[in-house]
Chains A and B, each alone.
Chain A
Amino acid sequence: MSMDPRFQMFYGPEGRMTLVDRALEAVMRGSISLGLRFPRYALIASMVKPTRKLMKPSDKVFTVDDHVGVTGSGYISDLYRVVDHMRLEAQRSRLLYDAPIDIGSLVDSVSGYFHEYTLYPVRPQGVAIIVAGVDKLGVQLFQVDPSGTAFAGDAFAVGMNSDKALDLIESEYSADMGLEDALKLVYSVVERTGNPEPAIQYGYITLDEKTFIRRSLGGNSKKATA
């Protein structure tokens, strides 16, 4: 029995969304990104791929608004578009309600953005993101996939070897970790998933400060970035 080719564009014979599956494969080729949530803070980090000596590596961790940060793995140009969408949505809330957007609504909006690209014969977003922020409900951590599915939780990993990274995190994570220990964990997980002496970019936000702060670690980028 032959399937209508227009239909086959979206669903393969097993009923999976072929284009979305391929997008997930693209994400798995990207350098790894991690996110950890604790009762009083959240930390997100991403490996920065080594580049040529005279080339500045691309940013991987972004401030969306004062109280939200995001990172991701996959096609970096897709990530830039996603980050821009989130920044616009965050400012829309400030204009409409004179209030910072809550992380849940921001994630709903960006997962809607991802989902749009699964409905039509276009290329789905080749990136998965991890969002960290603080709002009235506390410290928040989310992951959003190219399918538009959003997950809330305490630990996420996307990109190359993310399954192995999650195994490591699951056995070594504890809720009472301080920021320094959490950063050490993140760095060693990146290291132990096939990246000796990696350079990472990270960002964190605490319940007390409510401001997302970006930093770099390892590689030749020892300087802190604001």
Chain B
Amino acid sequence: MTTIVGLKASDGAVLASDRRASKGFFIASKTTQKIMKVDDTLAVAVAGLLSDAVYLVNVVRAERKLISLRRGYPMSVAESAKLISNLFYSGMRNYIPYYAELIVAGVDDEGAHVYSSDMSGSIMAESFVASGSGSPVAYGVLESLYSENLTVEQARNIAVRAVEAAMQRDPGSGNGVDVLVIPVRGG
């Protein structure tokens, strides 16, 4: 279930999600937070098992803090994405996969980045990405509206429209849209 999208803009990264949590044909919650802040420069959007995602976010938050204290400069988005992919991969290889798909978005010295990751451990850098049961509908909107070098404001509008469209046709998604904008520092 769920619709989540992530977009890369020239001056930041954008995540958007719906708010519905499903238990089969029952709407378990209408106010679910599917976008989680890791820290000031990194966040993830979650499709799948929320508890697994929360655990991963906690691990990544601790690791990012620890690494930046130890070496004196922060972890890049790419390093963080690779860490998440390693956690996913070891879960899969041990027959206890983390049942989630994460869109990882953040900013660092190199600018804004969006990665898609899943329980197999694959990790891909994307310009825009959608995940969850509503993703085919969201992708229709993203494919027709996304272009390179958007501003975060433009990307934010497209992200909201993609999730709204998915909520119209996907029974697993609904109850409103959450958006998170991560601007590049000084942007």
Contact = CB atoms under 8 A, between A and B. Distances in A.
A96 B71 CA distance: 15
B70 A99 contact: no
Interface stretch (A55-63, A64-72, A101-109, A181-189): A101-109
Contacts of B78: 98-99
Interface size class of B (residues with CB under 8 A): 10 to 19
A7 interface: no
Interface size class of A (residues with CB under 8 A): 10 to 19
16 contacts: A95-B86, A96-B82, A96-B83, A97-B83, A98-B78, A98-B82, A99-B76, A102-B72, A102-B73, A104-B70, A104-B72, A105-B67, A135-B71, A136-B109, A137-B71, A137-B73
Interface of B: 67, 70-73, 75-76, 78-79, 82-83, 86, 109
A102 B71 CA distance: 7
Contacts of B83: 96-97
B73 A97 contact: no
A137 B68 CA distance: 12
Interface string A71-113: 0000000000000000000000001111100101100100000
B73 to A, nearest CB: 5
Contact of A99 (B72, B79, B86): B79
Contacts of B67: 105
A137 B79 contact: no
A160 B73 CA distance: 37
A108 B70 CA distance: 9
- Which 6 interchain pairs have the tightest Cβ spacing? A98-B82, A97-B79, A102-B71, A99-B79, A105-B71, A104-B71
Contacts of A98: 78-79, 82
A156 to B, nearest CB: 20
